A and B are shown apart, each in its own frame.
Chain A
């Protein structure tokens, strides 16, 4: 996963607009990727996952895209709502069941 500075990258989005959160992963051998949402004062919550033999997977209001060529993962949230305000982490899993997290992106939804 990527490492960022002391301040989390922040995405400000208008309520109702679509959000796109990006993540660059580091291990080309990773075969499973997950997006987590972490609200203030809580542990991370699973949102959606994708296996490396797929390039797109859709859930309810969320879509994950995987580009293995450039080792890039993105999470798209449709019609962003105030309850979507949180920090979002991507995670990659390679052989050995170790899960490596990215540094996180803060999403702020403006009413």
Chain B
């Protein structure tokens, strides 16, 4: 089954404790992206990657890191989480990312609480 998976689905942590949220897709997609979703603000793009070893900042990259060492995985790293990073996080992928009529597939979401 074609899908985007994220782990963990729920995470409670404390300020300053490094964490990684994994994202994996099995569709051989080149484009992957991370979003955060907050009430009243919709989805905001954190980082995206057009292909292996190619990453770019989205609208809200501060406090986050990503890496794209292999095509299927795009982990989101919070080196020193803060309470304002409490949010619902979505990973997404699509075939190439720049083309018209390209469906972006979203993962199930990771709910993060930083105390």
Contacts and interface: CB of A to CB of B under 8 A. Distances in A.
Contact of A98 (B40, B59, B103): B59
Interface string A41-52: 111111001010
A45 B4 CA distance: 12
What 5 pairs across the A-B complex have the smallest Cβ distances? A43-B106, A101-B43, A6-B40, A101-B42, A103-B42
A57 B90 CA distance: 28
Interface of A: 1, 3-8, 32, 34, 41-46, 49, 51, 89, 91, 96-104
B76 interface: no
Nearest to B109: A43
Contact of A43 (B40, B90, B100): B90
B59 A6 contact: no
A102 B37 CA distance: 11
Secondary structure of the A contact surface, majority rule: loop
B50 A97 contact: yes
A96 B31 CA distance: 12
A100 B42 CA distance: 9
B29 interface: no
Given A89-B43, A97-B31, A97-B48, A44 B101 contact: no
Contacts of B56: 96-98
B97 A1 contact: no
Interface string B60-75: 0000000000000000
A75 to B, nearest CB: 15
